[in-house]
Amino acid sequence: SGTFAQIEESLFRNMSACGLEFSSATGTISRTSITNSTASGAEGIRFIAGGGGVVTNCLVGKITGSGVRAASDAGNAVICHSLLYSCGTGLVVQSASAVTNFNNTITLCGVGLSGSQAATWNTIIWSNTTATNAGPATVSYSDVELPLYGIYAGSSNMNRDPWFTDLAEVDCRLQNVSPCLAGGFGGADMGASFPVGSTPMWPSNLTLSASTNRIVLSWADNSSDEERFEIQRSLGGTLW
């Protein structure tokens, strides 16, 4: 409260209340993971009482309340290049709060975006129960899932499958066929900029083949900043 905070490459998990709150303070949260709230309504990041700042390249997920919320008395906030998934509401902007929301991916939430003051562009809002409410926000150059073939009001928006790599594994990198590649403002890609969060992007597409005297495991390496992979085995499924 009342000062500037710089939070980088940090991990916040299993919160019973808010993961990070900025009250009468500003700060930057970058390359940080905030996941797995344990209490109903707990929030990931909250800006209140004049608090504001920048959230960039973060992973915010499995939050029962709002992934990120700017309260009605919050200061200016910028949310960018981040992945918000499996939250009650991905991003909430209340009343007079001024929030800039660009190059984010918001998916698997009850509500993707709530609030009329979030200027939004280059953002993917897809596979949420409800894409937006309490708006509409100012949206452009974004992919917003609406019923049937509706297009969200604004410049150069679309309603097309973004072709995530593997949504079941929350791997929201875009495949080569995605219409969101180069679909944003100025020819930029839409959605989060990977890797996000404090840990390397997890591998995917694990396969196993067995022969008489060996087992071969193969997977797709989705990150460039890990040192090694560790493989564990168990004979009984309990001790590894």
Give the total residue count for the chain: 240
Question: How confident is the model over 97-112, as a mean pLDDT?
Answer: 93
Does 224 score more than 80 pLDDT?
Answer: no
Under the banding of pLDDT at 50, 70 and 90, the label for residue 57 is: very high
Q: What is the DSSP letter of 200?
A: P
Asked if 42 and 16 touch (Cβ cutoff 8 Å), the reply is yes
HEC letters along 13-82: ECCCCCCEEEECCEEEEECCEEECCCCCCCCCEEEECCCEEEEECCEEEEEEEEEEEECCCCCCEEEECC
CA 220-223-228 angle, 5° bins: 85
- Per-residue pLDDT tens for 137-189? 789 999 999 988 889 999 999 999 999 999 998 999 999 999 999 999 999 99
Q: How many CB atoms lie within 10 A of CB 127?
A: 18
More confident residue, 86 or 195: 86
Mean pLDDT of 91-103: 85
Would you state the pLDDT for residue 225? 63
Share of the chain above pLDDT 90, in %: 66
Convert the pLDDT of each residue in 177-222 to its tens digit: 999 999 999 999 999 999 899 876 678 888 989 888 888 999 888 7
pLDDT tens by residue, 58-74: 999 999 999 999 988 88
Please give the residue that has the higher pLDDT: either 197 or 235: 197
- What's residue 74's pLDDT? 87
What's residue 72's pLDDT? 83
d(CA 124, CA 53): 22
